[in-house]
């Protein structure tokens, strides 16, 4: 029944580039500028996460988190799609790959802003718990600005909470390495490649 009710909106590279181009200008570029300014003004403070940290711990976290988050994000998207009845899905592998490439850039930038600048900065000023809470809440709620439904917005907590904890508790200096890799996997599971795979598996 869910397959009959679900309407798939097939997208191609020009469709994806249309929203990505705007997204770069109004969201990613300001995030980069804010992080760069904080890095310069703070003299490259450790709390910003501009470090590989404990490489072994970072890569172990990524090795576990990448497949788990990709599959979990696909499952959440499938559940949400069956509730809402419509989903944008890449029409071909080319658009799925194009979107994946965009998320490879988007993930680290969002992590730098929300985990490094917001969580790290507030944590340095008011303590790590405050940084985690404010960083995570702001990360979740900002998705609402992109006209996501409340269900989709709150679903981002499934990414924001574990990544915020990881940025806080992983050994070594704070690092954006592990959380960025897992963030990329989660976004690719939820958008673009994930829906493309769900369609290929006839789950939509």
Of 94-108, 142-156, 189-203, minimum mean pLDDT range: 142-156
List residues bridging with 89 in a β-sheet. 10
pTM: 0.95
CB 171 within 8 A of CB 55: no
pLDDT per position as a tens digit, 140-165: 999 988 788 899 999 999 999 999 99
pLDDT above 70 (res 3): no
Rounded-to-integer distance, Cα 201 and Cα 23, Å: 30
pLDDT above 60 (res 1): no
Rounded-to-integer distance, Cα 124 and Cα 127, Å: 6
């Amino acid at each position: 029944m869910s397959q009959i009710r679900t309407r798939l909106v097939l997208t191609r590279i020009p469709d994806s580039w249309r929203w990505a181009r705007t997204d770069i200008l109004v969201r990613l570029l300001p995030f980069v500028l804010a992080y760069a300014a904080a890095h310069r003004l703070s003299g490259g403070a450790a709390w910003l996460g501009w470090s590989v940290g404990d490489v072994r711990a970072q890569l172990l976290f990524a090795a576990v988190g990448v497949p788990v988050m990709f599959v979990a994000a696909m499952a959440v998207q499938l559940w949400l799609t069956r509730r809402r009845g419509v989903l944008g899905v890449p029409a071909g592998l080319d658009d799925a790959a194009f979107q994946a490439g965009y998320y490879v850039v988007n993930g680290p930038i969002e992590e730098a802003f929300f985990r490094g600048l917001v969580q790290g900065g507030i944590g340095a000023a008011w303590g790590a718990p405050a940084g985690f809470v404010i960083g995570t809440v702001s990360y979740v709620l900002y998705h609402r600005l992109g006209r996501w439904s409340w269900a989709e917005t709150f679903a981002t907590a499934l990414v924001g909470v574990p990544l915020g904890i990881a940025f806080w508790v992983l050994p070594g200096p704070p690092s954006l390495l592990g959380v960025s890799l897992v963030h990329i996997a989660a976004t690719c599971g939820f958008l673009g490649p994930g829906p493309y795979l769900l369609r290929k598996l006839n789950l939509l």
